[in-house]
Structure 1
């Protein structure tokens, strides 16, 4: 998987160092997930020219609500979106697939599509309740705590672009390692960004274009949602995820 990063140039601030949002195609080492391996992995799709297109990941936390990244929702009309659950192959849906239209969605009130994507989280409300009796469909119980996950190996999931630029039909998985907030801040300071408690960072190249909003799974818990990444000169900066624990109270209020 690979991520389509935003483009930033700070030539006036950092002479002779060019920072760019788009990293060249790389081999990221992801592998295909098997059926029912990640029953909470969902595909957020948008109706474009009469065709449903996967645009981001999403993760249900109840039978009627799911989480995604706020920046995935660039249209205010919920009828142009739908959630697809219970399948790893979104081109050839398994018999266990469950598809729901959205009745509405809410972006976090502090979200901004400015550099750094603050409060990059949104709640999706599903028109059709999910049937979690199927082993292919599950929900996450959200924890109110935010444990220190530094140096923890976690899994990122998505249907985003592969190293060859093609989009896979089958869900991809990749192990990444959580880095400390201090280390992440040191890396991202070259672009003038401060990474706060609303974010988590991970080393190892893990997500890409259309992986946004997908889950970062640490142990049995949902730790984050894929948000953004970048590079400066030859250095790949840590991938940044929305910290679910930080937004627990807001999520519960939705």
Structure 2
């Protein structure tokens, strides 16, 4: 169903107000935002929009990527997490992936839309973004909440403190944790991140760099998950989707974690949701 531009604007204004009324970006269990160097166990259920994307193999389900619940039936993730050969499920309201947790939800995708310009042979080209439409709306609770997304084209200032969250490896080639992890990362502005001795031309303006201290970073299994940044009013916005890191290792100096900048794809996100 196509809507006129004015009606579409009104629709998304209503959706935004509805998200605010539902308390997007406001966890029932506030995260422990310490200045710990290196990753740490997150406070249980303190990132209630965090999803685990899992694929099926030999009758079992395995975590492969993170995701972000942005509407009651839509999950945001990275394009590189999606393969046409796998069957997927989405877990919400989870902290420990191995435990039976009351209030958690397992949802099935109705459809998965990968950005039409995504090229899996050229991650550095950008467009590493995908949306998963769930077969049913998920009931929100103290453990499952919607993420707030930033205003279109908003840019984080250098050294903004954000948190990457996920069940990715604890270090290069390391173990996969059962408990959700969080890591404090400071934003690196584009001018710095695109320097030759940083990421150079690999990084684009449609991306966000964060980290690069050689200690804390995203790692394999964090892909698709959120970069959470707190507003002055205390609400959290998801400014990034974990996209890629250095082939030299997860925590490599001057090779910050690189995220798809969510605010660069505001119109694409809205268009996909409208048309599906």
TM-score, normalised to structure 2, is 0.76
Q: CA deviation at 1:93?
A: 3.1
Does residue 211 in structure 1 map to residue 211 in structure 2? Answer: no
Contact 1:230-1:236 at 8 Å conserved across structures: no
Dislocated runs of 4+, deviation >4 Å: 231-236
Q: CA deviation at 1:76?
A: 5.4
Look up the match of 1:249: 267
The aligned counterpart of 2:239 is 223
Contact 1:178/1:201 (<8 A) preserved: yes
Q: Is the 8 A contact 1:144 1:249 kept in 2?
A: no
- Return the offset for 1:138: 0.6
Q: Matches of 2:223 and 2:125 in 1, distance apart? A: 12
Alpha-carbon contact 1:87-1:93 (below 8 Å) kept: no
Query: Of 40, 47, 53, which aligns to 2:62?
Result: 53
Gaps in structure 1 of 5+ consecutive residues: 1-27
Cα root mean square deviation, aligned: 1.8
Worse overlay, 204-213 or 83-92: 204-213
Displacement, 1:118?
Answer: 1.5
Partner of residue 199, structure 1 = 207
Q: CA offsets, 1:84-133, max 9 Å, x none?
A: 0001111103111011010111111111111415110000011121111x
Query: Structure 1 residues 141 and 232, CA, compared in 2 at 3 Å: closer, same or farther?
Result: closer
3-state SS of paired residue (1:59): strand
| 2:131 corresponds to which of 123, 132, 155 | 123
Separation in structure 1 between the aligned mates of residue 219 and residue 125 of structure 2, nearest angstrom: 16
Tell me the distance in 2 between the aligned counterparts of 1:121 and 1:175: 23
| SS of residue matched to 1:200 | strand
Query: Take 1:117 and 1:126, find their aligned partners in 2: how far apart are those partners?
Result: 28
Distance 1:197 1:236, change over 3 A: closer
The residue number in structure 2 matching 1:100 is: 107
The yes-or-no answer on 1:177 pairing with 2:186 is: yes
Check whether the contact 2:208–2:258 (CA below 8 A) recurs between aligned residues: yes
Q: Deviations over 1:30-77 (max 9, x none)?
A: 111122211011100000111100000000100000100000002256
| Structure-2 residue corresponding to 1:41 | 50
The worse-fitting range, judged by mean Cα deviation, of 231-240 and 104-113 is 231-240
Matched, 1:90 2:101: no
**2:151 is the alignment partner of 1:144:** yes
The answer to which structure, 1 or 2, has the higher relative contact order (CA under 8 A, 6+ apart) is: 1
**What whole-Å deviation, never above 9, does each CA across 1:109-162 have from its counterpart, x for those lacking one?**
111111415110000011121111x10001113233313332100000010111
Aligned residue number for residue 18 of structure 2: none
Measured after TM superposition, the shift of residue 230 of structure 1 is 0.8
Measure, in 2, the Cα distance between the counterparts of 1:151 and 1:243. Answer: 16
Give aligned pairs, total.
221
Per the alignment, do residues 221 and 84 of structure 1 end up closer, same or farther by CA in structure 2, a change over 3 Å counting?
same
CA distance in structure 2 between the partners assigned to 1:60 and 1:90 by the alignment: 17
